[in-house]
Amino acid sequence: MLRKKLLLLLLLVTLLVSVSTSDNARACSGDLCGCGIEGQACEYECQFYPPEYQWDCRRACRRAAVRCSIECCSW
């Protein structure tokens, strides 16, 4: 009985620690650096490309926005 209670306590503490540290990671957003706006502007420009290149252009814009967000939040 005591083992079960200790195991439950350990699991709850582990859950609490994981939730509290993940909230800090969620606090950062690429929007702090303008990554989302730049990504939208990039995707808007893709519509002026020939149709066969639009998909690749949009994919490149999304990857650039993700890369920007990662660099922004890695400080």
pLDDT score recorded for residue 5: 66
How much is the pLDDT for 73?
87
pLDDT digit string (tens) for the chain, length 75 residues:
877 666 666 666 676 666 555 544 557 877 888 999 999 999 999 999 999 999 999 999 999 999 999 999 886
| pLDDT score of 23 | 47
Q: At CA 75, angle to CA 33 and CA 61, rounded to 5?
A: 40
- The pLDDT, as a whole number, for residue 39 is 94
- The pLDDT value recorded for residue 30 is 79
